Amino acid sequence: MNHSRRLFAHCTILCSHSTFPFVIIRQTFIGGCDDTKALYRTGELEQKHLVGLVQKQRTAGTDRFETATLLPKQRSEAMNPPFWFPNTVNNNVVRLTGVQVCIMAALSAGFHWELWARYVAVGLLVDFIIRMVAGSGCSPLGMNATFLTSFMKPDFRPGPPKQFASFCGVFFSAMATIFYFLDFKGHDIVGACFMGGTCTAFDGHFSQCSRM
């Protein structure tokens, strides 16, 4: 509460305005509630302050500000910072992503002597890194899971445990990849053990988190 009072006092001095709210558009203080309503009635709010920010629907009788929508950001401007991860995630997507990971890890470990199985480990490593850094939106496995579960009702759960699971996946798949491509007797078996650890740890972690 003290922080709110201090913020209000600071805004009062900064804007020379003593009532709430403080309406600021494009870093310009335009007044309070009454001032904003007055600008809206005269049309100045849309014509001067919101030009380029809103888009009116092109339908008869819907040319008022109430029917306007904010213009979407350009894709290049809608980037998240590195290692950003959503605070809530769809558990349906998470579970299906885990199923895909377990299948790929099991195939890689089960056919560890095959070259393609070793590159499966590389693919999992890349996918884990993408998910840890940017969430499932950029991950091939995450996008596939999102598409396949799009018809299901979302089941939202906390996101941070899933980011930790992705970090664990990075560790196990990285170790598997390293040993797969080293050159000593039994190196592929060691890599397969790490790949099996990826499958076991990932499935166990998601089974626990899905009950949270």
Instruction: Convert the pLDDT of each residue in 86-111 to its tens digit.
Output: 777 888 888 888 889 989 999 999 99
- CA dihedral in degrees (139, 144, 147, 149; nearest 10)? -100
In this structure, the number of other CB atoms found within 10 A of the CB of residue 72 comes to: 9
Using the predicted structure, report yes or no on whether residue 165 has a pLDDT greater than 70: yes
Average pLDDT, the chain: 75
Work out the average pLDDT over 136-163: 83
For residue 191, the model assigns a pLDDT of 92
User: Which residues partner with 88 through β-bridges?
Assistant: 158
**Report field, pTM of the whole predicted structure over 0.85:** no
- Element of type H or E holding 6: helix 2-15
Using the predicted structure, report yes or no on whether residue 131 has a pLDDT greater than 70: yes
- CA dihedral in degrees (60, 61, 65, 71; nearest 10)? -20
CB 129 within 8 A of CB 173: no
Work out the average pLDDT over 179-200: 88
